[in-house]
Structure 1
């Protein structure tokens, strides 16, 4: 029998309760955080202003004039108990394809521009990530990275930024990398970065310290709402969704970019019901089943 990690609760001033499910990043902790925050929203408890899930925790902001901290804590502990059995959790999420130009000239140029901040200035970011993960063949690296599905565990930093973690039970298959020694002052929008085991797509130009390994052909944020799939919120990322990278050529990258600029691009998506219990019990077999026909 599997049980999800036990949560510890802490007060943050007069308006926040911070719930920590685990200190380290664990996929099952994220499943629990997603399930709890969704349930809190559904209950519409008077006094709650906002609830946000993170990698292995969640934060609740409340109005102490409407609900006391102690009463709210009773609610949260009761919800926490109902979400500790993975057999009772089913998360409606999407699988989303990210067409990607790996080792593109723009991220190569940014590698050169900020090489004085890098742990190995003589290597591009892409070459560095290959080296620290033991790859000598570029295509083998791209295949490994693109074959792994990534779970969006948190959204934040810049609006639309999705932190996504590899869905894999085999640690040897997880690509990881140290960050820059000192952050870049600029990063190209749609650049794909890697820091530790986390991946991120920079939604707009801005600072960053993750290693740049390629560029998404599609935006992850669209304030103009010209793309049909982003009209509802302007943001592609949803906590709990699974992103899957697909390697593309320069020609296909440019073609897709034109489609997005003209507003005609449609994201490849698949709605699924994610089962934490099956993930824990079946491991890689369950991950392969999720990715069938995608």
Structure 2
């Protein structure tokens, strides 16, 4: 893997790890940026890991650009198999798949869709070779997802499913973006899922909604007390399908300020995962093999 370094003006270095997303590329980004953060290098202002790249903002009056570049290259050289272990969080996110609100929104924008005669879920199931929506939902929720980056709008996580490349669920974005997407919609574009943290425009296919707020400047819920943006790069997400009754109960708890998420600390080992992804995932999420 050959990393490509590019200066952006006087204050930025952009590092491309690979042109295509992969767990190996993502872990390389996380390992280097984590080391850089731990070493607290003087002059480093911001560290922004992404899907298969990362970007550093630094103060050139504190650390010379050439010295900053040399430091990043040193971290790359020191990267070894021992770095492919990540201490992170496993988070269970409840999802009401095939909900009435995203279906209603999708119906308003069918002229912008590849298949105006079907819903987003029907289209996604068909082009991925699943005989029914339920089969597709099972494939979407059965394996965990990595949060590879957070952005676009405040708190929105981009998530990459932890399965072999041949099993990746892929759907194109809308032909033209919608001007509306319900808040907390579970979307999918390319090989990435996301959760729309706020209501607004969007082009990802819509699969359902979660009752769990993931961005709240008021920080009213227990899991948002530490930070108004919940997700972090490196989080592992397990989607839990729920029914309408469970969704309504969760929404009542959100309104009362008592809703909480199931979160536990885990250690993820990339090499053990790559040796047997299915078995590792089952162990990770506590399911039966």
Distance 2:92 2:257 in 1: 18
The answer to which of 14-23 and 283-292 deviates more is 283-292
2:134 corresponds to 1:139: yes
In structure 2, the CA distance between the partners of 1:249 and 1:200, relative to structure 1 (3 Å rule), is: same
Contact kept in structure 1, 2:31 and 2:84, CA below 8 Å: yes
1:139-288 alignment runs, 5 A limit: 139-169=134-164, 171=166, 173-288=167-282
**Deviation digits for residues 112-154 of structure 1, max 9, x if unmatched?**
1111111111111111111111222222121111102110001
**Deviation digits for residues 223-263 of structure 1, max 9, x if unmatched?**
21111111111122110011111111100000011111211
Local SS of the residue matching 1:269: strand
Counterpart pick for 1:71 among 62, 67, 73: 67
Local SS of the residue matching 2:41: coil
State the match for 1:81 in structure 2. Answer: 77
In structure 2, the CA distance between the partners of 1:170 and 1:59, relative to structure 1 (3 Å rule), is: closer
How many residues align? The count is 288
Q: CA deviation at 1:293?
A: 5.6
Contact kept in structure 2, 1:225 and 1:234, CA below 8 Å: yes
State the match for 2:47 in structure 1. Answer: 51
Divergent runs of 4+, >6 A: none
Contact kept in structure 2, 1:87 and 1:277, CA below 8 Å: no
Q: Which runs of 5+ in 2 are unaligned?
A: none
Local SS of the residue matching 1:204: coil
Contact kept in structure 2, 1:86 and 1:276, CA below 8 Å: no
In structure 2, the CA distance between the partners of 1:149 and 1:26, relative to structure 1 (3 Å rule), is: same
Local SS of the residue matching 1:229: helix
Q: CA deviation at 1:282?
A: 3.3
State the match for 2:5 in structure 1. Answer: 9
* Length-normalised TM-score, structure 2: 0.96
Contact kept in structure 1, 2:185 and 2:196, CA below 8 Å: yes
The answer to which of 122-131 and 210-219 deviates more is 122-131
In structure 2, the CA distance between the partners of 1:291 and 1:34, relative to structure 1 (3 Å rule), is: same
Distance 2:275 2:121 in 1: 35
Contact kept in structure 1, 2:88 and 2:265, CA below 8 Å: yes
Q: CA deviation at 1:220?
A: 1.2
2:25 corresponds to 1:29: yes
Distance 1:221 1:22 in 2: 30
State the match for 1:102 in structure 2. Answer: 97
Contact kept in structure 1, 2:147 and 2:231, CA below 8 Å: yes
